[in-house]
Structures are given as C-alpha cells and as structure tokens.
Structure 1
Amino acid sequence: MDASIPVNPELLRAVGLPEPGGDSKDARGRVLVAAGCLEVPGAILLCAEAALRVGAGKVRIATCRDLALPVGLALPEARVLALPQTPEGRIAPEAAGLVAGQARGCDAFLVGPGMMDDADTSGLVRALLADPPGAALVLDAGAMAALAEDPDLVRCLEPHAVITPHAGEMARLLGRERDAIETDPLGAAREAASRFRTVTVMKGARTHVVLPDGTAYRHEAGHPGLATAGSGDVLAGLIAGLLARGAEPRDAALWGVWLHGAAGRRCARDCGGIGFLARELSPAVPSILAGVLAGTEA
C-alpha cells in the first residue's frame, strides 16, 4: 500500500466544495478557535483569519483572559471569549465547560494553535473531549499531546477528527525518534491515522494526507518559504474554515493543504523567494480558491 494519490487542482475540482445556502453568515458556517497563550498570542490571529479567508461566515475565539481584548481589537471580525488562565498565562483546564458550551453552537472546532505541549493543555483537551460537542474537530500543535496519552480520545468521533502534526509532533504521538518519522513520513501518517482513527495531515516538504482506512494523498507543490513560524497555524485555520463550510474532513484537509501550498508559491513569487511571513498567506487564499474552482489556477 505504498501508492498515494497526488493532490492537484483536477482532484480538488472533482472533490468540490459545498456551496453555502442563502446569503447569511450562519449559512457559511461557524468556527470556534480555542488557542493561544501569553508566549504565543499571534497564533490565534493567524488561524482565525485563515478560517475567514477560506469562506467561513463567523469565527469565535476562546483564549486566556489577558489576551481576549487585544485579540478582539486585532481581529474585529471575531467574537472573543475571555477564559480563566493559569499563572503561566495559559488557558486553565477548568475553562473546558465554557469552551464546550461555545463549541456546541459551531460547525467546526479548532483546538491547539499557540498552546504549549504541557499538562495544562492536555488536561484542557481531555476535558473538552470527555463530552464531544458535535462540531467537526481539528487538533493542532499542543492539543495533539493529549492523544499520545490517550489514543481513544477521538477514535469514535463522527465525522473523523483531523490532526496536523509536523515531524516532531508525530514523533511524540507515536513514541518514536524524530529521525524515524522523517525517514518514513508516509508510514508514520498511516500508523497515526489507523491508531487514532483520524484524517492525518503529515506536514513537511511533501505533505501526506492519510485517512483511517489507509488511503493516502500526497502534496508536493508547496514552497520552502512555508517553513516559517506560524505557517502551520494558517493551515489549521484553513482546514477548520472549510469544515465549517460543510466539507468532509478528507476534502477539507486536501483543499487546505493545496491552498496553503499555493499561497506559499504566490507569496514567494511576489517577494522574490523566501522571507514572506505567515500572516501574508491568508490574504492570497480567496483568489486562489476562486481560480481552482474556475479552472484557471494550476
């Protein structure tokens, strides 16, 4: 089972995307982003803007109390929930009930960007998933550490959750050395997708998207400039926004990976190579998305 399917515009057009019904914001879907800490506040903005740029109608942000006001001012399109925080400036595990209540009113739920891989984050994620809210779920960054401790956390979710590890995070998930993951990223993605029953996005120079049944897709049309701080937060936000629009987890992952890579190529073209910033990716997405759907983006 070594063969994988290339991700390209032809595949994406065959997959398609749900068209929002009517002209209301709610018809385009609602995303809840639970993210951030005082050390990494910008991740919240990167993923939340990406969700809006890919077409989600509304974004709610749940973050620690000291970040809520500046985040709301920086992204005035979002509704922001100020949560209890730990002395270290992270979302407190006891905030899980507040976050879960918000998630029940949303179509997609993104957890983890800008969160630390520590006991507080694992406790929060475990509490959130003890009573799954029903929204399509994306676990990113620090939130994935909870899976390493309890592989059953998301196994029975329908639709399947999406996880977005890079090599270091995958090593933690599978209990291996990073070198082993980098030697066989597709094999690692297949193992994770099977173990956790997730749509697994194994990020890298070649990104693999693997389904729980072992079906694998590969994306090779990114750009080296995407290896920059915050880039993964943008990808997670794109996937969450597409889920909110009604895309199935596989389709949201495939579209998100392609749009992320295409935005990187466009930014590289405009700036002359590497050196573009993660915040510059999302503004490129709407026109790229329109081009793929119209058959003019290759």
Structure 2
Amino acid sequence: MTRGTIVREITAETLRGLPLPDSGGGSKEARGSALVIAGSVEVPGAAILAGTAALRAGAGKLQMSIAAGTAPHAGLAVPEALVVRLPEGEGGHVDHGQAAEVLLPRTERAAAVLIGAGMSSGEPTRALTAALLEGPSEAPFVLDAASIDGLCEKAQAVRARAGRVVITPHAGEMARCLGCERDAVEADPLAAARKAADMLGAVVVMKGAETWIVDPAGGTWHYAGGGAGLATSGSGDVLAGIIVGLLARGTTPAEAAAWGVFLHGEAGRRLARSCGPIGFLARELPGEVPGLMRDVAEGAL
C-alpha cells in the first residue's frame, strides 16, 4: 500500500481500538502536568479555555502561563491551576525574550506543552515558539494559532523533535505556514495537511467543517465534523487544550490528535442536541469531555 492511501475514519469504534492510558491508580502525577502558554491582554480567556479543557481531558496537573497583569484573573477563573506570571512589555503584552527564560525550565518539567492559543501574532510569538522548541525539553508540544505562523520557515526545529509536535491550523493559519493562498488550502485541505506534515515531521490537525489529521509517516485520519455550532470564538482553544491534556497522560501524538478531534466534535454534537445547533459557548465544551471518554470506553457511544 503506498504512502497516504489509507484514510481512517475517526469513530467511537476506531478509538476503542486505541484506548487511552489508564488513570495511574488515582495519582495525578501519573497523569502528567500540562503546561499551557496562551492568552494575551486582548484574549486572556484563551488560556482559561485551553487549561480547563486539558484538565477535563484528564491531565493530572495544570500550569497556565500568561501575562502578569492578567494572571490573577486567570488563577481565579481556574483555581485548579498553578499560574505562571510572564514578564510584560509594551502595552501589557508578554515580553517574549524574558518569557523564554521563565518558561524553558518549566517545559523540562512538563509532560506536555501547548503554546499559541490567543497569543499575539507576529515575530515575538514566533521567536518564543522557536526558543521553546529548540530547548532541552523532551515533552510533546501542541502549536496553535499564532505559534503556527511562519512555522515552515523553522522546520528544522520542529523536525528535530522527532514527531513530538502537533499543530492545529485552520485554513488561514495553514496558508501562512506554507506560504500559499488560503483558497488553495480550502480547495484541498488534505493535500495541505500532507505537505505540512512532510515538511515539519509533525502531526497536522487540519481544521475545518471536516477535519483531516496527517502524521509524519503519512498516516491519515478523517473526522466528518461536529456541526456548525463549533464555529464559534474559543472553540479552537478548547481543541488544543484537549489534545495537550491527552498528551500529558501519555497518549501518542497522532492518537491524542484523533481522540481530541473526536471528543471536541462530539461535545459539539451533544450541546447541539441539548442547546440547539448554534449558540452554545466554547466554555461549555470541556464539560462534555469526561462523559464522552467514559462512553467511548464502555461502548455506550
């Protein structure tokens, strides 16, 4: 069979063949610590959404890293988290040079790291992403939103992590990563995902009405979609948080991506049934995740 010719549909039955790591006998240490580096002065809620989702996916511990001025508010919103204050520069935004010094030791102690959700676009976030990728941590990374921009220009740093990176772009972010037009990505999202996975040696979650996942070896997964209601502010932050939580538990990158996409999509389906097809909030998605994981495992879904 040639590379990339088999597409696996992501269903509850598929995932029952890929069981999640056990609960570690009740030990939060065994379920790992997720480090969520996210948010900005304009979008502090991204860290809250992603961090909450990581815990709902079963991560044992959570650290949220956010600009110092918004950190106390994030800590109150997610009292389960240890909140790391990041140095601020102009306009209350994170000073990315100083932030790298604060974060590098924490990435070494984390079981999985998420960076980018709700962060400011531009060179500072790119530089911070590169610094952390090139650091000594062996943890898997999830790269979302602003951390994906220009990533293919730093492909060597991603490839050096030997498949331990998951990226979660929508069409616009993928176009900026590959240096092509958005229309080209939307015309053939699977081809774009395959190109990025090959260039970066990473697991690519190509988001859209349907989701395609491609791993560095060309393995391909497809999820038909969780409904129109998922196209709402903060939904992508939740997806990234679910994936990093699963990675913290010890799930492999490709399987964490597949499980994360399914749990996110099915959470949307459940809320569509209980609330209506559109109008539910991203903050409501994480609460559906524990029950979905149970239902998949028990064959109730």
Q: TM-score, normalised by structure 2?
A: 0.96
* Correspondence list, 1:90-129, <5 A: 90-94=93-97, 95-129=99-133
Code of the residue aligned with 1:67 in structure 2: it is T
Which of 280, 284, 289 does residue 280 from structure 1 map onto? 284
Aligned counterparts of 1:15 and 1:243: Cα–Cα separation in 2: 14
Aligned counterparts of 1:267 and 1:132: Cα–Cα separation in 2: 41
Q: Percent identity?
A: 50
Aligned counterparts of 1:142 and 1:2: Cα–Cα separation in 2: 31
Q: Which runs of 4+ in 1 moved over 4 A?
A: none
Secondary structure of the structure 1 residue equivalent to 2:209 = coil
Aligned counterparts of 1:100 and 1:59: Cα–Cα separation in 2: 16
Mind listing any 5+ residue stretches in structure 2 that lack a counterpart? Answer: none
- Please tell me whether residue 194 in structure 1 is matched to residue 198 in structure 2: yes
Which of 199, 204, 210 does residue 208 from structure 2 map onto? 204
Aligned to 1:228: 232
Aligned to 1:162: 166
1:50-97 deviation line (CA, Å, top 9, x unaligned): 000011110001111111111001110000010112213222122102
Which of 66, 69, 74 does residue 72 from structure 2 map onto? 69
Mind listing any 5+ residue stretches in structure 1 that lack a counterpart? Answer: none
Which of 6, 15, 20 does residue 18 from structure 2 map onto? 15
Q: Which moved more, 1:148-157 or 1:200-209?
A: 148-157
1:101-127 deviation line (CA, Å, top 9, x unaligned): 111111000001111221111121122
C-alpha deviation, 1:3, in angstroms: 4.3
Code of the residue aligned with 2:142 in structure 1: it is V
Which of 176, 179, 185 does residue 181 from structure 1 map onto? 185
* Correspondence list, 1:72-91, <5 A: 72-91=75-94
C-alpha deviation, 1:158, in angstroms: 3.6
Secondary structure of the structure 1 residue equivalent to 2:69 = helix
Code of the residue aligned with 1:178 in structure 2: it is R
1:244-273 deviation line (CA, Å, top 9, x unaligned): 011000110000000000000011111122
On the 8 A contact 1:228/1:277 being kept in 2, the answer is yes
Aligned to 1:294: 298
Aligned counterparts of 1:149 and 1:66: Cα–Cα separation in 2: 32
C-alpha deviation, 1:130, in angstroms: 2.3
Q: Which moved more, 1:81-90 or 1:230-239?
A: 81-90
C-alpha deviation, 1:132, in angstroms: 3.8
Secondary structure of the structure 2 residue equivalent to 1:179 = helix
Aligned counterparts of 1:19 and 1:207: Cα–Cα separation in 2: 27
On the 8 A contact 1:34/1:61 being kept in 2, the answer is yes
On the 8 A contact 1:125/1:146 being kept in 2, the answer is no
Secondary structure of the structure 2 residue equivalent to 1:113 = coil
Aligned to 2:46: 43
Aligned counterparts of 1:101 and 1:62: Cα–Cα separation in 2: 13
Code of the residue aligned with 2:60 in structure 1: it is G
Task: Indicate the RMSD between aligned Cα atoms, in angstroms.
Answer: 1.1
Q: TM-score, normalised by structure 1?
A: 0.97
On the 8 A contact 2:152/2:199 being kept in 1, the answer is no
1:170-189 deviation line (CA, Å, top 9, x unaligned): 00011111010000000000
Aligned counterparts of 2:74 and 2:163: Cα–Cα separation in 1: 30
C-alpha deviation, 1:148, in angstroms: 3.4
On the 8 A contact 2:152/2:200 being kept in 1, the answer is no
C-alpha deviation, 1:2, in angstroms: 4.9
On the 8 A contact 2:212/2:223 being kept in 1, the answer is yes
Secondary structure of the structure 2 residue equivalent to 1:157 = coil
- Please tell me whether residue 270 in structure 1 is matched to residue 274 in structure 2: yes
